[in-house]
Structure 1
């Protein structure tokens, strides 16, 4: 019996495939950058109540050096939403007008355009499968 346990201990340990899912690539292409200065902030969110103001799962800051920018995330397949804004003046925050209306260009996955309030996660959600995905967001 002790010999059998010793042999089992020598076998390599294999993790169950679902215990550590493979990561896939999400490519986000941000279009319609009007001013080539400042930075574009891309926030990747998992499902949450506070979207888009909640803390993102992952975020990127990209110099606004062209009419479009592109970035990638390496994440597990699942349901996500993306919120983007162009910090044109480089002050590190989304400038807003009265009543919280953004002064700077912004956009969301699915190119969802909110009318009177911030979008809900469900408005902007998409599924990232095992083959990865590329999405395009047009700033307004």
Structure 2
């Protein structure tokens, strides 16, 4: 009789796990402004933790630089993400920098954060949720 109860409990536990709601998710939309039209691609990267920042993006997409404004849409769970965007103007697949590590191509960060020196994680974090409007991020040139 105990085996029957154990089997029934196991079946109920598996059924409950199958109907557990997934993490709430909706498209995160970012409006990208000040891109150089028809020059390479726009690369958008999202980071979940400071340890991953500018090393291992949680999500990464690449869009054509069709005009001065673009929109990026990423399917991610609601939460907080640091945003890094750059325009790979020459199409070589990376952000070009000078010998001091200063970007030669347009860049942008969440909250339109403009760092002096190496970008920090926290100022670039935006929140993604059901009541939050799309973020507008302006690309800027350092050099």
Q: TM-score, normalised by structure 2?
A: 0.82
Structure 2 counterpart SS, 1:98? coil
Post-superposition Cα deviations, 1:86-118, rounded to whole Å, max 9, x if no partner, equal: 011111111111310001000001000011x12
1:94-113 pair list within 5 angstroms: 94-113=95-114
Structure 1 counterpart SS, 2:63? strand
Mark the CA change 1:68 to 1:10 in structure 2 (over 3 Å): closer, same or farther.
same
Q: Given the alignment, which residue of 23, 26, 46 partners 2:25?
A: 23
CA contact (8 A) 1:31 1:68 kept: yes
1:74-85 pair list within 5 angstroms: 74-85=75-86
CA contact (8 A) 2:106 2:139 kept: yes
Mark the CA change 1:13 to 1:90 in structure 2 (over 3 Å): closer, same or farther.
same
CA contact (8 A) 2:32 2:70 kept: yes
Structure 1 unmatched runs, 5+: none
Q: Given the alignment, which residue of 44, 48, 51 partners 2:50?
A: 48
State the shift of 1:7 in Å.
Answer: 9.8
Structure 2 unmatched runs, 5+: none
What CA RMSD, in Å, does the superposition of the two structures yield over aligned residues? 2.4
Measure the CA separation in 2 of the matches of 1:97 and 1:4.
Answer: 66
Post-superposition Cα deviations, 1:34-69, rounded to whole Å, max 9, x if no partner, equal: 232200000011122352x21100000001011111
| 1:124 equivalent in structure 2 | 124
Measure the CA separation in 2 of the matches of 1:94 and 1:48.
Answer: 20
State the shift of 1:131 in Å.
Answer: 4.0
